[in-house]
A and B are shown apart, each in its own frame.
Chain A
Amino acid sequence: MDLVSNLALGFATAASPANLLFCLIGVLLGTLIGVLPGIGATATIAMLLPITFQLEPVSSLIMLAGIYYGAQYGGSTTAILINMPGESSSAVTAIDGYQMARNGRAGAALAIAALGSFFAGTVATFLVAIFAPPLTAIALEFGAAEYFSLMIVGLVSSVALAHGSIVKALAMVALGLLLGLVGTDIYTGTPRFTLGIREYADGLNFVGLAVGVFGIAEILRNLESEKTREVLMARVTDLMPSRDDFKRMLAPILRGTVIGSALGILPGGGAILAAFASYTVEKRISDRPQDFGRGAVAGVAGPESANNAGAQTSFIPLLTLGIPANPVMALMIGAMIIQGIVPGPNVAAEQPRLFWGIIASMWIGNLMLVVLNLPLIGLWVKLLKVPYFILFPIIMAFSSVGVYSVNANVYDLYAVAFFGLVGYLLLKLRCEPAPLLLGFVLGPLLEENLRRAMILSRGDPTTFFTRPISATLLAIAAVVLVVVFLPAVKAKREEVFVEED
C-alpha cells in the first residue's frame, strides 16, 4: 500500500538520529521559551526561526515543527498557571485551566492539556497522511461567502463563552469586533480608528491585547488585596488527573479532535475558531454547564485537543497547496524558501522525503512533547509557589520582551499597558475577556469576507443562501440561535446565570 510505504519513508527520515535530535531540541526550546510568561507561540517561533536557517532542509523543518508544538504547549502552560495566553487558542484554555489552577489542580489541568493534545495530534497526523489531497479540495470550495457564514456560526456560539451576563458577553464581542477593525482597511487603504498613529496601521497586535486583558489584569487583581489574600497557589492537591477526570475528559477530547481537525483545514482562519467552537460545544452538551468558567475538566480537554488537532491539520494547505493557513505557517514557508524549497502543489511528488518526513515528525514531536512534559508538570507547578511579588516583575519583563520581539514595534508595548488598564477595568465591571478576544480575531475576517462576498457576487446578498456550504452553515447558526432562545433551554440557562444578575 502506498500509504504504508510513504509513512515508512517518512519515519525513516524523521527517525534518523540527527533528525530526532533536532526534533527534540525544537520541542525543548519551543517549550522553554513558550513557557516564559507573555511569550506565546508566534513570538517564540519568530525568535527561534533564524536558528533553523543553518540546518539542512528536512532537519530545519522538523526542528521548526517541533518548536511549533513546543511553543504551543508552553503557551498553554502559562495560560493555565498564570492566566497569560499568548495565542487566541490558549485564551480559551485559560478560562477553565486557570480556574483549575486556582483550585489547586494545576497539575491535573496541565496533564489533561498534554494528554488531550497528544491524542488529538496523533489522530490529526494520520488524517494529514491519509486524506490531505481530498481535504484540500474541500478547503478550496470555501470562498468568501462560506467564510462569512462560518464566522457567523462562531459569533452566534460565542455566547456560550460567557458564564456571566449574556448581554455583557455580547457587548464584549461587539467591542472585540470593533477593536479588531483598528488598522488599515484593505479595500480602500483608509486607516480606521488608528487615532493618526501610523504604527497601528496594521492593526493592534493580538499578543499585546491578550497579555493586557488577561495577564496584566490578573496581576492587578492579585495586587489589590495583598495583605488579606490567601496564598491560593501554594495549595496544590494532586499532580495527576483522577479517575473521575479521565472519565470526564475522554468524550471532550474526541469531540475536540474532530472539531479541530475539520476547522484546521480551512486556510482562512478556520483554525482560530476551533478552540472556541469546542468550548461552546462542551458547555452546550455538558450536564453541568455551571462548572464552566470555574474549572471544568471538559473546558480544558476539549479546546486543547481542538487546538492541537487544528494546528496539525493546518499543515494540509501548506503541504498540498503551498499556502499558509496562519502566520505560523507563513513563517514555515519562509523557512522552506530559505532552504531552497519553494512550497507548492508538487511538494509531495517532488520531495517525498521532506513531505513524509515532516508528517512523521509531527507525530514524533507530539510524542516527545508528552514524554517531556508529563514529568515537567511537577516543576511547573512548583513555580506557583514562588511568591507572587517576585513572579510578577518577571512576568512584566518577559511580556515586554515577547511583545516587542514579534514586530519590533514599541507601540505594541503601549497597547499592552492600555489593554492592561482596559482588562482590569472590565474585570472590575464583571465583564469577561474571552468573548472580547473572540470578537477581536473574528472582526477583520468577518468584515473582509462579507465585503469580498458582496464584491464577488456583484452586490447580490442572496449569494449567502444560494451557495450550498454557506447556506448549510447559516442554517446551523439559525439552529444554534433557536436553541439558545428556546424557552426550556432558556430557563435552564438562567439557572446557570442567576448568580450574576
Chain B
Amino acid sequence: MTILKALLGAVAAVSLFSAPASAQTYPERTITVIVPFSAGGPTDTVTRLVAESMSKDLGQQVIVENVGGAGGTLGAGRVAQAEPDGYTLLLYHIGMATSATLYRNLAYDTLNAFEYVGLVTEVPMTIVARKDFEPNDLKGLIEYVKANKDTVTVANAGIGAASHLCGMMFMNAIGTQLTTVPYKGTGPAMTDLLGGQVDIMCDQTTNTTKQIQGGTIKAYAVTSPKRLKIFPDLPTASEAGLPGFEVGIWHGLYAPKGTPPEVTDRLSKSLQKALKDENVIARFAELGTEPSSEADATPAALKAKLESEIARWKPVIEAAGEYAD
C-alpha cells in the first residue's frame, strides 16, 4: 500500500509540475498539429501549408502528425485527451460536427472536449456528373433524377466523407432518395465517374477542379454562396434552382479543453497571420478555396460554426439513417 501511495504521490507531483505552461513565454518548444487523416489528403495539405506559415510567426516549429482512422475521430480523441498546454493541436474539417451524429458512441464529447482557435478555410463543393449524362443544367438535373430515381446512381467516397455528406444534403433538398454507391475514398469513386460507371457525385473542388477543367466530367453548380473565381460561368446552387443549398467543407483548428485562453489567443493571432500569407493564399487558390477571413479565424467564430453545423446536420443524417458505428 505504501508503495502505491508513494507512486500516486509521485504521479500527482509530476502532473503538478507539468500542468501550467507559462502563457507569457509560449511557445517554448515544438508544437504538434494532429491531422486525423493520412498524409497527402486535402486536410493534410491544408494543415501543412498553414503550419509552415505559423512556424514563422510563432518562432517554433509547428509539425504535423497524421493520426488517421475512423473518419477522423481517432485523431480527435487523441487531442481531446492530450495535455492542454498548447503544444498539441487538432486540425479537423466538417467531420468534427457530423461525427457527433454519425458516431453514436464517440470517445469524447464534441462540444465540451476542445478549446477553439479559429476557422481555417471553407472548401466549396461542386455537383458533377459523368460527361455524357443527359441533363445540361441543375434544373434539368433535378427533373431528370426525379423522373429516373430508380436508375440514377450517386457515388460517394464512404460514410462521413465530404461527398457522402453533400450527397445526403442534395437528396434531402430535392426530396428524392437515389441509389447511393459508396467507394473507399475519392480516387476509386472519381475513376468510376470518369469511366461512366456511376452517374453523379457532389465533391470538394480539391478533387473536381482539374477534371472539370479537363472536360472529363460535367459540372452543374457550386455549393458556395458566391461563384468561384476559377469557374466564373458555373452558377451557385442557389442561382440554378436549389435556393439555400450551401455545403462547404470547413476546417477548424482546435486545442484540448483547458488550454489557457492566452495560448489560444496567441494561436489565433498566428493563424490569422498565416491566412494572409501570400503563399498560403496562392496555394489555397489552386485548390479552389480561400483562407477564412480574419473575423472567422477566431475562437468565437469557430465555436459558433461548430454548434450551428452540428444542429444543421443532425436531422439530415438521422433522416438518412446512416451511421458509422
Contact = CB atoms under 8 A, between A and B. Distances in A.
Interface string B39-75: 1111011001100000000000000111111110110
Given A144-B197, A331-B39, A342 B74 contact: no
B216 A345 contact: yes
B20 interface: no
A199 B74 contact: yes
B38 to A, nearest CB: 7
A116 interface: no
A346 B210 contact: yes
B197 to A, nearest CB: 4
Given A189-B159, A407-B66, A456-B153, A334 B192 contact: no
A263 B94 CA distance: 37
B194 A342 contact: no
Contacts of B135: none
B322 A141 contact: no
A140 B198 contact: no
Contact of A345 (B68, B197, B211, B325): B211
Interface stretch (A163-171, A211-219, A320-328, A358-366): A320-328
A332 B66 CA distance: 16
With most chain B CB atoms within 10 A of its CB, the pick from A189, A201, A323 is A189
B225 interface: no
A67 to B, nearest CB: 13
A338 B214 contact: no
A184 B70 contact: yes
B210 A143 contact: no
Contacts of A334: 39-41, 44-45
Interface residues of B, number: 59
A344 B187 CA distance: 11
Contacts of A139: 191
B74 A409 contact: yes
Given A188-B322, A331-B40, A408-B67, A338 B48 contact: yes
Contacts of A383: none
Contacts of A481: none
Contacts of A180: none
Using C-beta atoms within 8 Å of the partner chain, give the interface range for chain A: 35 or more
B48 A317 contact: no
B133 interface: no
A340 B286 contact: yes
With most chain A CB atoms within 10 A of its CB, the pick from B151, B181, B187, B209 is B187
A248 B322 CA distance: 56
B136 to A, nearest CB: 21
Given A53-B48, A198-B107, A199-B69, A186 B158 contact: yes
A337 interface: yes
B45 A338 contact: yes
A143 B159 contact: no
Interface string A197-209: 0110110000000
A140 B48 contact: no
A342 B286 contact: yes
B195 A322 contact: no
Interface in B119-157: 150-151, 153
A10 interface: no
Contacts of A159: none
A89 B142 CA distance: 46
A452 B155 CA distance: 11
B244 interface: no
Nearest to B77: A198
A478 interface: no
A154 B73 CA distance: 35
A344 B216 CA distance: 9
A322 B184 contact: no
A189 B206 contact: no
B73 A198 contact: yes
A35 interface: no
Given A140-B191, A324-B187, A338-B49, A455 B153 contact: yes
Interface string A49-60: 110010000000
B269 interface: no
Given A189-B159, A408-B67, A455-B179, A140 B194 contact: yes
B179 A407 contact: no
Contacts of B31: none
Contacts of B11: none
Interface string B198-233: 100000001001110111100000000000000000
A202 B213 contact: no
Contact of A141 (B45, B195, B213): B195
B183 interface: yes
B282 interface: yes
A321 B206 CA distance: 14
A18 interface: no
A456 B197 contact: yes
Contacts of B196: 140
Contacts of A475: none
A142 B195 contact: yes
Contacts of A268: 188, 191
B40 A409 contact: no
B214 A184 contact: no
B190 interface: yes
B266 interface: no
B181 A452 contact: yes
B38 A189 contact: no
Contact of A317 (B70, B153, B191): B191
Interface string A301-339: 000000000000000010001111001001111110110
B295 interface: no
Contacts of A433: none
Contacts of A189: 102, 159-160, 322-325
A187 B286 CA distance: 32
Interface string B268-298: 0000000000000011001100000000000
Q: Lowest 5 A-B CB distances belong to which pairs? A: A334-B40, A344-B210, A140-B195, A345-B214, A201-B70
Interface of B: 38-42, 44-45, 48-49, 64-71, 73-74, 102, 107, 150-151, 153, 158-160, 179, 181-185, 187-188, 190-192, 194-198, 206, 209-211, 213-216, 282-283, 286-287, 322-325
Given A189-B102, A189-B324, A330-B41, 17 more contacts: A142-B195, A190-B325, A198-B107, A199-B69, A201-B69, A317-B191, A323-B191, A330-B38, A330-B185, A335-B40, A337-B45, A337-B206, A344-B209, A407-B69, A409-B67, A455-B153, A456-B181
